[in-house]
Structure 1
Amino acid sequence: MISGHAVIGAGYGDEGKGLIIHYLASRSPSDTTVVRFNGGAQAGHTAVTPEGHRHVFGHLGAGSFAGCPTHLSRFFIVNPILFNRELESLKAFGSSPVVTVHGDALVSTPIDMYINQKAELARGKGRHGSCGIGINETVTRSLSDPRFRIVFADALFPDRLESKLDAIKRFWLPSRLAELGIELDSETRPDSFELMVDSIVAGFIDDLQDMLRRVTISGLPRGTRHVIFEGAQGLMLDEGREDLFPHVTRSRTGLTNVVLLADEFGIEALDVTYVTRSYLTRHGAGPLPGECDWHFADETNAPNRFQGNLRFAPLDAELIADAIERDLEMYYSRLASVDMAVTCLDQHDLSIELPREIAYVSRGPSRDQVAAVREYKGLYRYSHRSRSVSGDRAAPALSIPAS
């Protein structure tokens, strides 16, 4: 029997999921596979080895440093250019992760990235919060017409792939640009634009074939006895949150895809850990309740022209509780346990009581390192006198040691 553990962001993303997944994967790496169940390369999950090797995982599972293979599920959006770049960067650490990909995983093209970036910049102050990787454009294109839908298995059939890319270039690209009101720059001639598109499409085919040589199209790797479902983004960005539209991502960030995949893998009961920092962050446009002028060091979420600066707010217990309950509502019967992880306690004390039992915490200057994680079962309360986080259960209070 295969067991499963889902790690899901409770906020707007960037909660520390990579650290927690690295920790969980390190406990039993020989028979654990990390499954990416939503989103794509816009994820940025940081893990640091005890030797100080640091990597921000986009495609590959955050358990890769522990030696765990990665499975990119049918709900994942593949970007061959960024995948190959990431795999090459890991070679510097002597890491060669095993990767399997479901044949139905959608594939992003440079055309999607181009449209996405042009559209987001054109929105000005009305930006949606995109990071420019082309996730929404990939899904929109794929749902519009089967001629435009590229899945990873298409890489096995060059004629089919080239036919779809030609249709995207000739029909989808001009119609989508017109729909979004995007015009070519005044200095860009139509013929030179066409040559540019031809060039990037040719390069994309090479990138896709290169990726095909590096992975296996299949389900879970053989020998998998434990699955860690690695969530991307957070519950506040779930595309099902119509109350937060348009500042959401184009995927299901909670349990929806996890439960479907668990059924396919024969997993009967799931453990779920919701992750939050000890404060809220948001990288990109959109509401952030309680936003303030705090600033904490963050090496991963650097300012960029699409998302701007990382934004901060105090942790809101009601906001977190509501998001978690919405996610759990239909799936209680499938779950063996539900708990939480709190990260970045070295930067800010936990000043509220969270809605679920805390199982993992991280604090200390090396908070991205797996050694910074501590296990603890209990509800946390803030002690104004001691300025430390402690447990409140029948057992004696436990102060969380600094890393």
Structure 2
Amino acid sequence: MPAIVLVGAQWGDEGKGKATDLLGSSVDYVVKFNGGNNAGHTVVIGEEKYALHLLPSGILTPGCTPVIANGVVVDLGVLIEELDGLEARGVDTSSLLVSANAHVIPPYNRVLDKVTERFLGKRRLGTTGRGIGPTYADKMSRVGVRVQDLYDESILRQKVTAALDFKNQVLAKIYNRRAVEVEEVMAELLRHAERVRPMVTDTALVLNQALDRGETVLFEAGQATLLDVDHGTYPFVTSSNATSGGACTGSGVPPTRVDRVVGILKAYSTRVGEGPFPTELDDEHGEFLRNQGAEFGTTTGRPRRCGWVDAVVGRYAQRVNGITDFVITKLDVLTGLERVPVCVGYDVQGTRHDEMPVNQSDFHHAVPVYEELPGWAEDISGCRTFEELPDNAQRYVLRLEELIGARVSAIGVGPGRDATIQRYPLLG
């Protein structure tokens, strides 16, 4: 049985939970391998809607083991709050596993994240202010706090003291903020240590052993391809690798064990935060997409920037991730449009680009080249086979498939778990 990597093919919020639901009971483990509580999944089950920020969506699937792997940065308070919220709604969360090597978000990094963003002013990056970036920076600087450190108070105190020796200088002398006390940090980090202890394990070992037994492991990326710190629209990116390669470094499962990469592509484009967005619409069409698609952040509540689908971005995502199958989500949102434009290239100061420009400056100045396809007015939310879709909706999907370079295996036609057309199996 396979290891499957699930990635967002745009700027996030593509509806990755839809693909997780499609795999359903076939998945034994769902692994979050990057990011933290700076992005979220919304999962709709019947009449119930669940907003997940730190937890893998597999926590809602009975019999599936959810895993927070080593590449994630963990806000302990958020973790416990999410677990308590789900348990209050009758969801069994007892199978959650957390990597001992995952880094913990200490309170001083949340403070630094917020004050730094304010300090940048117009040059701000659009972070969520949840301490994600500073915690990844600590990880790379080798001064981070890991989950396993919670269970050796002496080591934890040494790490916190060493970090604050520097960070308090920054807070006080650059940002004119109150210094953070060591004991204050220790108290917050240790508050939930015993609650988390039964979940903590060597998740890399667990996952490799599961694959040895022939079980199916799904790796679920946070954020998306164009927010990847290496392959995204830098510097307007997240602080981790949200592409398929990050699944290996973020989990301890080697690339030789990955069988399939599934990319999620929304039928239009959205983005939250700052940064270039060639197909962005600041008109009635943008408002139409935002309102019809309920495009407001799961984690932040911020209205998302909206635009037409960008096939250049989709093709780029296919290449850097090695996407074998695409899932197109929210096709139903386009219902009612007379014409549906698709970006097939860019004009950069008179030069045509059919692939992503190598320079960020060129991408920033890219003017989309559109191909217009006929729209449809029929309600497609009840369609369950490709043939049931209106002819123009079929043409839209087939043209996207041609442009992005991999087969479209599934299509989302509504928010519910069952509102999906499956053209090809995502397993086997």
Same fold (TM over 0.5): yes
Task: Name 1:135's counterpart in structure 2.
Answer: 132
Structure 1 residues 64 and 105 mapped into 2: Cα distance closer, same or farther (>3 Å)?
A: same
Corresponding residue for 1:340? Answer: 326
Q: Which residue of 2 aligns with 1:238?
A: 228
Residue of structure 1 equivalent to 2:394: none
In structure 2, the partner of 1:387 is: none
Residue 14 of structure 1 aligns with an amino acid whose one-letter code is D
* Alignment match of 2:193 (pick from 203, 208, 217): 208
Q: Where does residue 325 of structure 1 map in the other structure?
A: 319
Are the structure 2 counterparts of residues 269 and 231 from structure 1 closer, same or farther at C-alpha, using a change threshold of 3 Å?
closer
When normalised by structure 1's length, the TM-score is: 0.78
Structure-2 residue corresponding to 1:84: 80
Report the Cα distance in structure 1 between the residues aligned to 2:299 and 2:202, rounded to whole angstroms: 37
Partner AA of 1:58 in structure 2? H
Give the residue type in structure 2 aligned to 1:249. T
Query: Number of aligned pairs?
Result: 346
User: Is contact 1:362–1:373 with CA below 8 Å preserved after alignment?
Assistant: yes
Equivalent position of 2:119 in the other structure: 122
After TM superposition, list the pairs within 5 Å mapping 1:20-99 onto structure 2. Answer: 20-24=19-23, 26-29=24-27, 32-50=28-46, 52-67=47-62, 68-97=64-93, 98-99=95-96
AA aligned to 2:224 is G
Partner AA of 2:411 in structure 1: V
Residue 360 (structure 2) aligns with? none
Check the 8 A contact 1:302/1:309 in 2, yes or no.
no
Query: CA 1:301 to 1:269, structure 2 compared with 1: closer, same or farther past 3 Å?
Result: closer
What residue ranges of structure 2 are gaps of 5+ in the alignment? 343-398
C-alpha distance in structure 2 between counterparts of 1:199 and 1:61, whole Å: 30
Percent of pairs with identical residues: 24
For residues 3-402 of structure 1, the aligned pairs below 5 Å read 3-24=2-23, 26-29=24-27, 32-50=28-46, 52-67=47-62, 68-97=64-93, 98-144=95-141, 146=142, 148-169=143-164, 171-177=165-171, 181-184=174-177, 190=178, 193-194=179-180, 198-213=183-198, 215-219=199-203, 220=206, 225-241=215-231, 244-260=233-249, 264=253, 268-293=257-282, 294-295=286-287, 296-297=290-291, 298=294, 301=297, 308-328=302-322, 338-348=324-334, 352=342, 353-354=399-400, 355=404, 356-364=406-414, 367=415, 369-377=416-424
Please state whether the residue corresponding to 2:332 is helix, strand or coil. coil
Where does structure 1 lack aligned partners over 5 or more consecutive residues? Answer: 185-189, 329-336, 379-403
Cα distance in structure 2, aligned partners of 1:376 and 1:39: 31
Q: Structure 1 261/115 Cα, relative in aligned 2: closer, same or farther at 3 Å?
A: closer
Q: What is the root-mean-square deviation of aligned Cα atoms in Å?
A: 2.6
Counterpart position of 2:350: none
How far is the alpha carbon of 1:249 from its aligned partner? 0.8
TM-score w.r.t. the length of structure 2 is: 0.74
Whether the 8 Å CA contact 1:262–1:268 is kept in 2: the answer is no
**Deviation of 1:263 (Å):** 7.1
Q: Output the CA distance in 1 between the equivalents of 2:189 and 2:135.
A: 14
Answer 1 or 2: higher relative contact order, Cα 8 Å, separation at least 6.
Answer: 1
Offset of residue 261 of structure 1: 6.6
State the SS of the aligned residue for 1:347. Answer: helix
